[in-house]
Chain A
């Protein structure tokens, strides 16, 4: 009896400790960024492009990188969705009875999921050289799209699998075609689509390696798909590697901006997910 009680309290303490470590590191990370970035935060950071050259620049802001990141992450997520939704639907709605093919595809997407982003960057770079495209917004979007497709497909796949088979049967037995049934399923998983968008956008906006060679870098806001585009993570990387302390400080301010952007997207998509779940059957 005593042994069982001891075991119970031991594992309880272990769980509490683990939770404290996780919650603690969250506050430590956010705290550090705030502490080191706040002194350099000013209105110029988010409204101006860099002044006086980026590597040594102490003036201006990172508006070029904010806009660039939103373009790249947004473009890649939209493009990724256009490709991933049909794939997820096809695997789940059209491949019944051929489960080994679906299983094979899922394994393939899991492998793609696990491939480090630098590999996508290198692959994107190779394709760009082959096609004769310079480092540009377009190149960045394409490389990041490759990166987010596995995330989108697997998330959508998981969400679609939670849809009760009876709902699909209900649509089919009304005489719906497979595509009509799929549209019903899409309505049902609308909140899940926002979760997928959030995951994809979060990964896309934070990734350095895939945009390193493909998007290039620029002090200006890109006005066409063929111009190079700056991204926030890359800006942080450059600023942090500067020997000048003030520029390093600006890296933390940029990190703070990136965190806030992700926070806004998170809140926005969970509000949308809630709004669109009113029709969802439980």
Chain B
């Protein structure tokens, strides 16, 4: 682990209504690695992920205490500019949700709202990011077709390209392959592995095999608490905690 992690969570509590979703989470996310958050349904994995870029703000009756430091800046500080925090992270959701516009405009959307206007610059960004996600050859002749015409696997790669176009430091994936077929899943997984050279990647998954295939570290969350955090092989093969052992062996889900 490096000295200055991109994301450092300190005593984070999230409460929605009267229900405590996350309880006293403290975690340092290692830079330029793939980290998987695993755990049973409803354990708070997605909430934890969404707390990283303040997407929880839109939830009704939500109460967040504690700190999430991104590059040393507490993102829950009232003075912080939320769009600036979110720009640092690309989010890949469960199903692809392309913006209701063309393939080109989807990738150009982020750079445009952040002030890139020149067509030449935008063309370059679009090409670079579509190449980075392996989509360029498939779509270069129909860049101005609606993004919805793409297959669902292509759409998910487009969403990744769209996220990369704002030059984030961190990629957040919320069960990003759960709607995809096995071939598309494997393409996305390979992308994650290759992208960790440049980005810190945090994935939520409920598929243990996927966590094993792609991640360097695993966080096991159960009932809103971090039970165990460690290097992938170590956590899966030699879990220290009883609950992790039971989960990994499939006794609890």
Chain A residues close to B by CB (< 8 Å): 96-97, 99, 164-177, 180, 184, 187-188, 190, 278-282
Inter-chain contacts of B10 with A (CB < 8 A):
none
Instruction: Give the docked Cα–Cα distance between A165 and B87 (Å).
Output: 19
B86, A174: Cβ atoms closer than 8 Å: yes
- A170, B159: Cβ atoms closer than 8 Å: yes
When the two chains form the complex, which single residue of B57, B98, B146, B166 contacts A174, counting CB atoms closer than 8 Å?
Answer: B166
Alpha-carbon gap, A279 to B90, bound state (A)? 22
User: How distant is B107 from chain A, measured CB to nearest CB, in Å?
Assistant: 10
When the two chains form their complex, are residues A278 and B53 in contact, meaning their CB atoms are under 8 A apart? no
When distances are taken between beta carbons in the complex, the residues of chain B under 8 Å from A187 are: 99-101
A173-B148 in contact given A97-B60, A167-B99, A281-B98 (Cβ < 8 Å):
no
- CB of A173 within 8 A of CB of B99, answer no
Most buried by A among B89, B98, B113: B113
- B85-102 CB contact bits vs A (8 Å, 1 = yes)? 011011101110111111
Beta-carbon nearest neighbor of A177 in chain B = B83
Indicate which residue in A96, A166, A176, A278 contacts B95 across the interface (CB closer than 8 Å). A166
Query: How many whole Å from A170's CB to the nearest CB in chain B?
Result: 5
Indicate if B79 sits at the interface (CB-CB under 8 A).
Answer: no
B241 within 8 A of A: no
Are B148 and A282 in contact, CB atoms less than 8 angstroms apart?
Answer: yes
A–B pairs, 24, beta carbons within 8 Å: A96-B59, A97-B57, A97-B58, A164-B97, A165-B58, A166-B93, A166-B94, A168-B58, A170-B91, A170-B99, A172-B55, A173-B90, A174-B87, A174-B109, A174-B113, A175-B87, A175-B110, A177-B113, A180-B113, A188-B100, A278-B146, A279-B100, A280-B100, A281-B98
Indicate if B84 sits at the interface (CB-CB under 8 A): yes
Q: A175 with B166: in contact, given A170-B99, A184-B100, A279-B100 (CB under 8 Å)?
A: yes
Max count, chain B CB within 10 A of own CB: residue among A188, A280, A281: A281
In the complex, A280→B109 CA distance in Å? 16
User: B114 touching A175 by the CB < 8 A rule?
Assistant: yes
Residues of B within 8 A of A190 (CB): 100
B62 within 8 Å of A (CB atoms): yes
| Chain A to chain B: the 8 pairs with minimum beta-carbon distance, closest first | A175-B87, A173-B91, A174-B110, A279-B100, A188-B100, A175-B83, A187-B100, A279-B146
Q: Whole-angstrom distance from the CB of B100 to the nearest CB of chain A?
A: 4
Complex CA distance for A173 and B89, rounded to whole angstroms: 7
Interface size, chain B (Cβ < 8 Å): 36
Judged by a CB distance under 8 angstroms, whether B141 is at the interface is no
Q: Does B22 contact A (CB under 8 A)?
A: no
- Other than the given A97-B57, A173-B55, A177-B83, 19 more pairs (CB < 8 A) read A97-B60, A97-B61, A164-B97, A165-B58, A166-B94, A169-B91, A170-B97, A170-B159, A170-B162, A173-B163, A174-B87, A174-B110, A174-B162, A175-B84, A175-B87, A175-B114, A176-B83, A279-B146, A279-B148
What 0/1 pattern do residues 145 to 177 of B give for CB contact below 8 A with A? 011100000000001001100100000100000
How would residues 161 to 197 of chain B score, 1 for a CB under 8 Å from any chain A CB and 0 otherwise? Answer: 0110010000010000000000000000000000000
A175 engages B86 (CB within 8 Å):
yes
**How long is the Cα–Cα vector from A173 to B110 in the complex, in angstroms?**
9
A170 and B84 CA atoms in complex are apart in Å by: 15
- Take A96-B59, A180-B113, A184-B99 as given contacts and tell me if A169 and B87 are in contact as well, using a CB distance cutoff of 8 Å: no
Bound complex: CA of A168 vs CA of B91, how far in Å?
Answer: 12
- Give Cα A168–Cα B102 distance, bound, in whole angstroms: 17
Chain A contacts for B83, CB-based, 8 A: 175-177
B residues in contact with A279, CB < 8 Å: 100-102, 146-148
